[in-house]
Amino acid sequence: MSDTVASRSPAGHAAVLPRLLPLVAIVFLGFSAIGLPLAVLPLHVHGTLGWGAAMVGAVVGLQSLATVLTRRHAGVLCDTRGPKRAVLGGLAASALAGVCYALSLAITDPALGLAAILLGRLVLGFGESLFLTGALSWAITVVGPHNAGKVMAWNGIAMYGAMAAGAPVGLALLQAGGFGAVAVAATLAPLAGLLVAALVPAVPVPGGVRMPFTAVIGRVMRPGFGLALGSVGFAVLASFAPLLFAARGWPGAWAALTAFGGAYILARLVAGGLPDRLGGRRVAVLSLTVEAAGQLLIWSASSPALAVAGAAVTGLGFSLVFPALGVEAVKRVPPQSRGAALGAYVAFFDLSLALSAPAAGLLVAEGSYAPVFLAGAVAAGLSLLLTATGRDAPAPQA
């Protein structure tokens, strides 16, 4: 299907969401393989296998490292073999990760059991890189690059929805059937996504000369750095909001994270199409301003209610940063290099999440967690400055 087919006409525009839904479902099922075991893995590694906190951290972080290192391969595969091939391979790898988790139960040696878990995390990171980059590229080709903001908004809802639902479901499965039940669910979810992907028609691979990956990075570097800085607020909120509440003796730390997630999803549902209509740079400037205000509200909060309100405002602002700057990134490359551009762009987000929390942790002194939220506001301000002083990207390329 050509990029010019969908949504050039009013009828095509109205049909954008129904055409996106199968691909959004694929992302939800793929990310369920990440969300289901996320809260359970630390318990298994520490409680069952007997490893310490440092190894628990390594197990959790290894997936992100593998994802970052394979984004380039995922993008090139989308551009050369088609996004469907990348999605199918990524979902298969994600299912294999669940098999590795199950193997850790069948091995009596704790070291070998840990090795099976680590292998699963590596495979899952590779799988996520493939299926997410492929799903984004596939969807943008189906509905047209001028609907890239909607694509990223709805895929973000699928990602965070799977993560939010996966944690409690994973814990419930652990109580009902042990870690083996979690491993089975983490295997079946991406296999279900694989079935959905197999039924969705493939799109042709664009012809023409593809840009070198280094040149692609140069094209998307400005929106990529903007995304990295704009994601710091999310990283510090997820990592330090519960600690802030605990240090101050405030109840209801869960409310801050729930408020963030609810506002995040609401903004995408209500305003997810704004980057396509108003331009990514304009929406990003507004979103980063709101995010910075939310971080400042948490930093200065004198009560849990104010901190929860700051988390909600942060969620409203951060929600559209990824799709807004993503629209700018996609516009900067020809269609035959779109997969590489998406892979490079998302890698900035991966790196931000991997580095922000450890770096912000250096600002914590004697149980005072407020400075990390000031750092989040400063990072959003720097992203705002970088974005506002840039130029609008050219019109979407078909």
Q: What is the CATH number of the domain that holds 369?
A: 1.20.1250.20
pLDDT, greater one: 224 or 15: 224
Of 164, 199, 234, the one marking the end of a domain is: 199
> In the chain, what percentage of residues exceed pLDDT 70?
93
Q: pLDDT class for 53, splitting at 50, 70, 90?
A: low
150 and 72 belong to one structural domain: yes
Same domain for 224 and 184: no
**pLDDT number for residue 51:** 85
Mean pLDDT value across residues 353-372? 80
Q: Are residues 165 and 136 in the same domain?
A: yes
Boundary residue ending a domain (199, 224, 251): 199
Averaged pLDDT, 15-38? 91
Judged against a pLDDT cut of 50, whether residue 6 lies above it is answered with: no
pLDDT tens-digit readout, 163-183: 878 878 988 999 999 999 999
Please choose, from the candidates 371, 364, 350, 71, the residue with its C-alpha nearest in 3D space to the C-alpha of residue 213.
Answer: 71
Asked whether the predicted pLDDT for residue 47 surpasses 50, the reply is yes
Residue range 105-132: mean pLDDT, rounded:
93
One domain for residues 23 and 76: yes
> Stretch 190-219: mean pLDDT, rounded?
90
Domain boundary (199, 226, 246) is at 199
Q: Coil, strand, or helix at residue 317?
A: helix
Shared domain for 293 and 177, answered yes or no, is no
Which residues fall within 8 angstroms of residue 117, CB to CB, at 6 or more apart? 41, 44, 45, 49, 59, 100, 101, 104
Please give the average per-residue pLDDT across 191-220, as a whole number. Answer: 89
Residue 252: which of 263, 242, 260 has the closest Cα?
242
Which residue segment(s) compose the domain that 220 sits in?
Answer: 213-388
Is the residue at 127 inside a domain? Answer: yes
Q: Do 152 and 179 reside in the same domain of the chain? A: yes
Q: Could you tell me the CA-to-CA distances from 262 to 61, 161, 267, 304, 311 in Å, in that order?
A: 26, 10, 9, 17, 10
**Which residues on neighbouring strands pair with residue 368, listed in sequence order?**
365
Rounded distance, CA 6 to CA 41, Å? 42
CB atoms within 10 A of CB 356: 24
Best CA proximity match to 190, nearest among 92, 74, 121, 119: 92
The mean pLDDT of the chain is: 88
Q: Are residues 195 and 242 in the same domain?
A: no
Q: Are residues 282 and 174 in the same domain?
A: no
* Residue at 205 is within a domain: no
Contact of 30 with 193, CB cutoff 8 Å: yes
Query: What helix, strand, coil percent values describe the chain, rounded to 5?
Result: 85, 0, 15
Q: Are 304 and 357 in contact (CB under 8 A)?
A: no
Mean pLDDT of 230-259: 86
Considering the domain boundaries, does residue 71 fall inside one? yes
In a domain, 303, yes or no: yes
State the Cα–Cα distance between residues 293 and 280, nearest whole angstrom: 20
**3-state SS, residue 368:** strand
Total domains, the chain? 2
pLDDT category, 364, cuts 50, 70, 90? confident
Residue 269 has, within 13 A of its CA and on its CB side, a CA count of: 8
Confidence of residue 1 (pLDDT cuts 50, 70, 90): very low
pTM above 0.85? no
| Tokens encoding 72 | 């380039």
Contact by Cβ (8 Å): 193, 29: yes
- Say yes or no: 150 and 45 in one domain: yes
In a domain, residue 364? The reply is yes
Q: Which of 68-77, 226-235, 315-324 has the weakest average pLDDT?
A: 68-77
Do both 267 and 318 map to the same domain? yes
d(CA 43, CA 179): 9
Q: Is residue 204 in some structural domain?
A: no
267 vs 396, which has greater pLDDT? 267
Give bridge partners of residue 365 from the DSSP assignment. Answer: 368
195 pLDDT tier (thresholds 50, 70, 90)? very high
DSSP state of 357: H
Spatial distance between the Cα atoms of 87 and 246, rounded to a whole number of angstroms: 41
pLDDT over 70 (residue 248): yes
Answer yes or no: do 314 and 244 share one domain.
yes
Which residue from 266, 320, 263 is spatially nearest to 288, judged by alpha carbons? 320
- Residue 278 in tokens: 């108003």
pLDDT at 214: 85
* Distance separating alpha carbons of residues 101 and 107, to the nearest angstrom: 11
Give how far the C-alpha of residue 270 lies from the chain's centroid of Cα atoms, to the nearest Å: 20
d(CA 319, CA 313): 10
Q: Tell me whether residue 4 is in a domain.
A: no
In a domain, 81, yes or no: yes
Phi and psi for 369 in degrees, rounded to 5? -100, -5
Distance CA 38, CA 363 (A): 26
Mean pLDDT of 371-387: 95
Lowest mean pLDDT among 103-112, 269-278, 336-345, 386-395: 386-395
pLDDT at 198 over 80: yes
Q: Are 191 and 102 in the same domain?
A: yes
CB atoms within 10 A of CB 359: 16
